[in-house]
Structure 1
């Protein structure tokens, strides 16, 4: 059975998203291994600490969902990168941040923003076809 181009493009985009989220997971894991799960990030506000630490678990979950439950994965992926950039933009107004990581998040957000419709449509079409078979 031949996979339609739209579904193939969707899969490749979701794979790229998942790989980027695995990279983010690696960053959060390094922080946790060096400082522990309860690190205060140099005096950051409690909600910031909770948010950043939670990404250690949310990012890989999102990567997994992108491949196993694509629609849920796409929704969570957009939510994660939007909230991450918004939060880190707010944080950067008050504290110094690593610009390389911040810029990479913005680039990922732009990539997702410009490609998520393609990823969504390829997934939605496949989901509709599977429901029609049932």
Structure 2
């Protein structure tokens, strides 16, 4: 492959990866919106505390915003996506750990489609980070 073809291939791969990330974040934002419509904006998520409830509710706006940034401002959207999915998984695991009996986390996570999908998305983001980032660097040089 000649250098221009290689660059075009890398950029195409980066756009595809960012598109998949954006689609996942849009679906996550819709899921958060569904939760708020079902339970109300001030729902306490079964008593998790105000900070956790505010964080989860804020993802109704943050997830779709990052999805848009991935498409229109990938230099900002790519690190923002990694940040939001990392903090979301860490936060969800921390809250879950506090609420379960000792030693029950693995079994709970293994039976939770929501947590499994978030962890899978985090792994996908980490694995494809380089492709999205390389394309982001080339996008920023073009503008």
Correspondence 1:49 to 2:53: yes
> 2:83 corresponds to which residue?
79
Paired position in structure 2 for 1:14: 18
Distance in 2 (alpha carbons) for counterparts of 1:120 and 1:39 = 37
How far, CA to CA, are the matches of 1:21 and 1:126 in structure 2?
A: 21
Report the more deviating stretch, 89-98 or 60-69. 89-98
Query: Which residue among 98, 119, 126 is the counterpart of 1:113?
Result: 126
* Number of aligned residue pairs: 129
Mind listing any 5+ residue stretches in structure 1 that lack a counterpart?
none
What RMSD, in angstroms, separates the aligned Cα atoms of the two structures?
1.6
Q: CA offsets, 1:85-132, max 9 Å, x none?
A: 00011011122678110010000000000001111101201321x25x
**Whole-angstrom distance in 2 between the partners of 1:25 and 1:54:** 9
Structure 1 runs of 4+ aligned residues shifted over 4 Å read none
Is the counterpart of residue 35 in structure 1 residue 39 in structure 2? Answer: yes
CA shift digits 1:33-84 (9 cap, x unpaired): 0111110111111110110000000000000000000010001100100000
Is the contact between residue 13 and residue 131 of structure 2 (CA under 8 Å) also seen in structure 1? yes
Q: Of the candidates 117, 123, 130, which is equivalent to residue 136 of structure 2?
A: 123
1:64, 1:95 → 2: CA distance? 34
